[in-house]
Amino acid sequence: MPLALCCMSHSPLLDITEQSPELEADVRAALSAARAFAEDFAPDVVVVFAPDHFNGFFYRLMPPFCVGMAATTVGDYGSLAGTLHVPTGLAQACAQAVLADGVDLSISHRMKLDHSSAQPLRELFGALDARPVIPVFINAAAAPLGPLARTRQLGAAIGRFFGRRDERVLLVGSGGLSHDPPVPTLDSAPAAMAERLVSGRPLTIEEAARKHTGAIAEGLRLADGSSERRPLSPAWDTEFLSLVTSGALTELDGWSNDEIGQHGSGAHEIRAWIAAYSALDAAGPYEATYRYYRPIPEYIAGFAVTTARPGGADN
Ligand SMILES: O=C(O)/C=C/c1cccc(O)c1O
Ligand SMILES: [Fe+2]
């Protein structure tokens, strides 16, 4: 039953670029606070809600949600590559309970994850396999996307499942907030790239190098004001953070995907946060214990870190 939450933005540019000492120290302090929270909570199991960026999930079969029974990370952008320690029986029981609770999802016995899962696991625990982890993929990159309410319901069903059990569960949400990274879309990608978005063939070394260089260049352009991609939206990010940290999750049901997309294609990653907060909310009122936010164009990220635990109104 004991649940706690840590949500954080991710960005590969955090790892592959060097920024001013002030910026790096500021972000490191926030990530250290999250790590201290996770260490202090000492979870028996971690549930990571994370999107993918066409590294593990492709249009040949694109589920809205998927729970991993076994999972590896691909090591994109030099992120940790390896095997997660997934407690398969518990993951199966979780998926079964969510289905019985009225939310459809798929499962994978060979799930592939990318930096969006690897980065928070490294930041919170130093390794992919330091703790048992149940990965929950939430599609945020491959249109069409369902309504936010469905993601909220998924999170709530997972929270209800763990609420009936004894494990200490850390709920991790990875992604968002406003940002518009150069991730391809099926309807605008050149033919060869579009074919890969469907087939899932591995990137060639040259393609991976171009992706790195392109993302780094985009971060520089966003920081110097010359980018043609969507700017970060601090006001929107702040509104979102206020809603999730105050427990006003159902208000987000009214947010349309079109409106969210105005804040960048990556803004759909707020779904990971909504699922994690909804899981915590299913166990009762909660209070945010830490909140960091900074719009960081250099990382192409409205970058936030929050922690929360049960408490507040009824506690
Ligand atoms: O290129 C990708 O796969 C994604 C890059 C990126 C950049 C900045 C913030 C994010 O959330 C990203 O996933
Ligand atoms: Fe992302």
Who's near 87: CB < 8 A, 6+ residues apart?
A: 45, 132, 134
pTM greater than the 0.95 cutoff: yes
At residue 315, does pLDDT exceed 50?
no
pLDDT confidence of 313, banded at 50, 70, 90? low
Select which of 53, 85, 109, 115 is catalytic. Answer: 115
* Centre of ligand 1 from the C-alpha of residue 263, in Å: 14
pLDDT of 148 reads: 98
The C-alpha torsion from 284 through 290 and 294 to 299, rounded to 10°, is -80
179 catalytic? Reply is: yes
Residue 1 has pLDDT above 90, yes or no: no
Q: Whose CA is nearest to atom 12 of ligand 1?
A: 11
What's the average model confidence in pLDDT over 211-224?
A: 98
Query: Which residue ranges have their beta carbon within 6 Å of ligand 1?
Result: 10-12, 53, 175, 179, 181, 183, 211, 215, 266, 269, 300-301
Give the ligand whose atoms come closest to the C-alpha of residue 10: 1
Question: Is 53 designated active site?
Answer: no
User: 3-310 — its CATH code?
Assistant: 3.40.830.10
Q: How far apart are CA 161 and CA 166, in angstroms?
A: 10
- Give the tens place of pLDDT for each residue, 225-265: 999 999 999 999 999 999 999 999 999 999 999 999 999 99
Q: How does pLDDT run across 18-42, given as a tens digit for each residue?
A: 999 999 999 999 999 999 999 999 9
Most informative mutation of 112, 113, 183, 185 for ligand 1 (most atoms within 8 A of CB): 183
CA angle 143, 148, 152 (to 5 degrees): 130
